């Protein structure tokens, strides 16, 4: 049976940095041709290996999850640095060009000190702003703010009626199922690149 060690798997790059294959007498069962994305000297290389559930050694469940997604050609949309992770980034679909759409995501800060979201850059819009929603005596109103705080050891979910980014002046229609990448800049953690999915508005 083929043994596959998918160790030191980095979710931020969705790559297996040490993936060793040893062939034995019998072929691997079940999932075949799993693709392991390996970053070597800053370059990603793909190779195929047969993977059976009993042949995966010394791996976390998360590593196995990512490896199986690779076998199907899909990857979980998670961007991660040492202390900050960005996941579940999405925008609502919009048919018109030149419109504005909120960019929503989940941000986890595992550090012992606070951080802040400073800006995003996305290829589908000319500009972006950070917004919060004020609720006073009248109707709720969006307001531009310098940054979005992310407290130490906290998870912040960006929502249309709370903290969020606004992508301004879209340069193309955004259809359900479309995907693109955005760079997300933090005050301390630096810049991460995350996948963004276009979804049907709630």
- What tens digit of pLDDT does each residue of 161-188 get? 999 999 999 999 999 999 999 999 999 9
Distance of alpha carbon 189 from alpha carbon 92, whole angstroms: 27
Answering whether pTM is above 0.85, one says no
Residue limits of CATH 2.60.40.1890 in the chain: 79-199
Cα distances (angstroms) measured from residue 49 to each of 29, 39, 78, 186: 12, 16, 24, 37
Q: What are phi and psi of 55, to 5 degrees?
A: -100, 0
Residue 174 is given by DSSP the state: B
79-199 topology per CATH: Immunoglobulin-like (2.60.40)
The residues, ordered by sequence, that sit 6+ positions from 72 with a Cβ below 8 Å of its Cβ are none
CB 76 within 8 Å of CB 63: no
Answer with the residue of higher pLDDT: 138 or 86: 86
Cα distances (angstroms) measured from residue 79 to each of 73, 106, 143, 175, 194: 18, 10, 27, 23, 5
CB 28 within 8 Å of CB 51: yes
- What tens digit of pLDDT does each residue of 93-134 get? 999 999 999 999 999 999 999 999 999 999 999 999 999 999
Q: Which two tokens stand for residue 27?
A: 């072929």
Q: How many CA atoms lie within 13 A of 55 on its CB side?
A: 24
Q: Is the pLDDT of residue 64 over 80?
A: no
């Amino acid at each position: 049976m083929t043994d596959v060690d998918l160790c030191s798997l980095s979710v931020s790059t969705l790559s297996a940095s040490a993936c060793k294959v040893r062939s034995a007498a019998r072929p691997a069962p079940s999932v075949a041709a799993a693709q392991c994305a390996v970053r070597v000297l800053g370059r990603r290389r793909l190779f195929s290996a047969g993977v059976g559930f009993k042949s995966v050694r010394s791996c976390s469940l998360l590593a196995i999850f990512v490896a199986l997604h690779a076998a199907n050609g899909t990857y979980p949309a998670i961007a991660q640095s040492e202390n900050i992770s960005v996941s579940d980034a999405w925008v609502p679909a919009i048919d018109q060009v030149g419109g504005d759409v909120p960019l929503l995501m989940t941000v986890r800060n595992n550090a012992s000190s606070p951080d802040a979201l400073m800006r995003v850059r996305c290829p589908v819009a000319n500009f972006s702003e950070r917004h919060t929603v004020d609720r006073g005596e009248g109707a709720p109103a969006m307001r531009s703010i310098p940054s979005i705080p992310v407290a130490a050891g906290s998870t912040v979910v960006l929502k249309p009626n709370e903290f969020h980014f606004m992508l301004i002046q879209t340069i193309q229609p955004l259809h359900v199922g479309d995907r693109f990448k955005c760079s997300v800049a933090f005050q301390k953690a630096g810049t991460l690149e995350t996948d963004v999915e276009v979804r049907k508005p709630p």
